[in-house]
Structure 1
């Protein structure tokens, strides 16, 4: 038991040293990463079971939910990075063709900007404003696995979210990152680890890197948001509460 605990501490120390040593090297790296986003089947089954077991929900609404989740399709996201900056965004081309898709609604459509040196994670949210998101507190484990040709390490965290019903809840997050691509970035706010995040799994969805294009010849564009009107996570939460309350009053 003592040996296992000591090995965990050594592993974490090594990863921290890798992160620090990679900060300089990462300045030379650039790339475009494509992620596939999909809803977890266990989540869909759980949601539909809850809906169908609720006697207060009309049958027509139950059928609508069944068709809605049954028609959910995978979506694509892109992550651009260079010069210690990154920009993550949703590719809405498929949605323009197929219409509303619950997958993108649940995973999210808002872009994220990150400046590694400034250690910030900025969500550009069209409803409440430009948010300086709080970083997740990761716990790096000893588990490893290969994703494609890259050896990845597992990291776990708990994310606090705000529901459309007006209350807070938490979700477990599992991320797999590789130190073979030494940039402390990933999709959405799933960043801050000693390497590129290739896979994220939450209770609701999974995001997996499907294309990795490092140091491409084409110019990489990074959209830098206006940081003059940035709001804190607490201010954003307050606005979400106000929107939820206003929605209740309109019913």
Structure 2
């Protein structure tokens, strides 16, 4: 039913500890995004197509650590070791997805700080937390030792338009401004009332219990391990180094970088496809 294995969740501590004022937790989440791109008909050798698709798939499978308390949290991607002989191409295709770098939430203030690495330049995106109108349902299931409840909401999601980047076309086609696509999707979340914090992975929050799983149209984020009140106290700090921008400013910068990346790819593709010779 799933493409990955749900690991057993580790429960540490008694229920009364959950209600302690200094309650903390640390969790691990696995995120998987489906790659939807059609390279058929492109002037790319078949072995190269398969290599690109494999790298894009690997770039969109990530593991995150999530430290949280009642008021704040930090969501960090675990670094992957590059395989021998691999360049960073696949990572480049996955780097601008829905989930970016370190993501810090301050619930009482309703703000977030996201640390994003965009082609080697660090940005600190500071803005108001997105609010979702959750609809609570009665459906339940088990994730590890926890009974979780279903909640749904709609959300506008903006993603890089990878198909446009690979599409060959005239100069006019290149200037259509289609580096990103945006659409309304239904979000399904599963939360655990046994862990009474309104926290969740990435920019998800606002439910009466920790969100252990969340799905949109192409991405699934699943909690694979959780420890409540670990022996060593967790220090939750907001990211601090990087150029400070708003979300709207960062989106515009990303759009320009995607356009540049798309045009560079098309230029290289044209040369391989028998363009002008020097």
TM class by shorter-chain length?
0.7 to 0.9
Equivalent runs, 1:1-251 vs 2, <5 Å: 25=19, 27-39=21-33, 43-44=34-35, 46-47=36-37, 50-52=38-40, 55-60=41-46, 61-68=48-55, 74-82=61-69, 84-92=71-79, 94-96=80-82, 105=95, 106=97, 108-127=99-118, 129-131=123-125, 132=127, 134-142=129-137, 143-156=139-152, 157-163=154-160, 165=165, 166-170=179-183, 171-226=185-240, 230-248=244-262, 250=264, 251=267
Alpha-carbon distance in structure 2 between the residues aligned to 1:26 and 1:115: 19
CA distance in 2, matches of 1:162, 1:70: 16
The DSSP-based 3-state class of the residue aligned with 1:240 is helix
**Counterpart Cα distance in 1 of 2:214 and 2:30:** 10
Query: Which is greater in Rg?
Result: 2
Q: How many residues align?
A: 219
Residue 118 of structure 1 deviates from its aligned partner by 0.9
CA contact (8 A) 1:78 1:89 kept: yes
- Residues 53-92 of structure 1 deviation map (CA, whole Å, 9 limit, x = unaligned): xx13423342323443576795321001135111110111
- Alignment check: 8 A CA contact 2:69 2:197 kept: no
5+ unaligned residues in a row in structure 1: which ranges? 1-23
Q: Superposition RMSD on alpha carbons, in Å?
A: 3.2
Q: Which moved more, 1:57-66 or 1:116-125?
A: 57-66
Q: For residues 159 and 85 of structure 1, what CA distance do their matches in structure 2 show?
A: 24
In 1: Cα distance, 2:59 partner to 2:103 partner: 24
CA distance in 2, matches of 1:36, 1:208: 5
- Match in the other structure for 1:12: none
Pair 214,179 (structure 1): closer, same or farther in 2 beyond 3 Å:
same
Deviation at 1:26, TM superposition (A): 7.5
Deviation at 1:177, TM superposition (A): 1.2
Q: Does the 8 Å CA contact 2:28/2:225 hold for their aligned counterparts?
A: yes
- For residues 156-214 of structure 1, the C-alpha deviation after alignment (integer angstroms, 9 at most, x for no partner) is 23232141551232344321111211111111111222221101122323221111100
Counting helix residues as a fraction of each chain, which structure ranks higher? 1
Q: 1:227 to 1:116 in 2, by over 3 A?
A: farther
Q: In the alignment, is the contact (CA less than 8 A) between 2:102 and 2:239 conserved in 1?
A: no
Does the 8 Å CA contact 1:133/1:189 hold for their aligned counterparts? no
- Contact conserved, 1:27 with 1:84, CA < 8 A, in 2? no
1:230 to 1:155, Cα distance in 2 relative to 1, 3 A: farther
